[in-house]
């Protein structure tokens, strides 16, 4: 319940009860429950165990940018930086990227920043 109250206080929840990610009608997100499992193994171990390999994680990057306008306002430069660092770590050129999993909160502040950063780095 506390997480819900905090999200509502910051205006992150959609008053319409619908998320409009990357849309002019964006007004926040809708909370939901779900679950999933991702099993990570070294490629060598997965092959030795006869597992079906769906993907290989070649690299990654993380950052934290608390210097935005507000706690929930991302900065484009920070998002661009982490995208570039992830590509460098994975030794993958940005032009080679064919799929991205987005944060996409459906907020009028976050979504445009995320889209602009992706466009700047991935084209």
Nearest to 78 by CA among 69, 70, 93, 68: 68
Show me where the domains of the chain are located.
Answer: 2-122
pTM, to two decimals = 0.77
CA–CA distances in Å: residue 94 to residues 17, 58, 97, 103? 35, 13, 6, 18
Write the pLDDT tens digit of every residue in 20-60.
Answer: 988 999 898 898 889 999 999 999 999 999 999 999 999 99
pLDDT (0 to 100) of residue 68: 64
Write the pLDDT tens digit of every residue in 46-105.
Answer: 999 999 999 999 999 998 876 666 666 788 999 999 999 999 999 999 999 988 888 888
- What is the architecture, at CATH level 2, of domain 2-122? 3-Layer(aba) Sandwich (3.40)
């Amino acid at each position: 319940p506390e997480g819900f109250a905090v999200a509502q206080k910051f205006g992150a929840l959609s008053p319409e009860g619908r998320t409009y990610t990357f849309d002019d009608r964006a007004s926040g997100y809708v909370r939901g429950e779900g679950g999933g499992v991702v099993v990570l193994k070294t490629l060598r171990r997965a092959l030795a165990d006869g597992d079906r390999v769906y993907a290989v994680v070649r690299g990654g990057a993380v950052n934290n940018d608390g210097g935005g306008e507000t706690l929930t306002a991302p900065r484009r430069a920070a998002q661009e930086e982490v995208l570039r660092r992830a590509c460098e770590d994975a030794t993958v050129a940005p032009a080679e990227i064919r799929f991205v999993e987005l944060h996409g909160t459906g907020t009028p502040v976050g979504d445009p920043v995320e889209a602009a950063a992706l466009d700047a780095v991935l084209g």
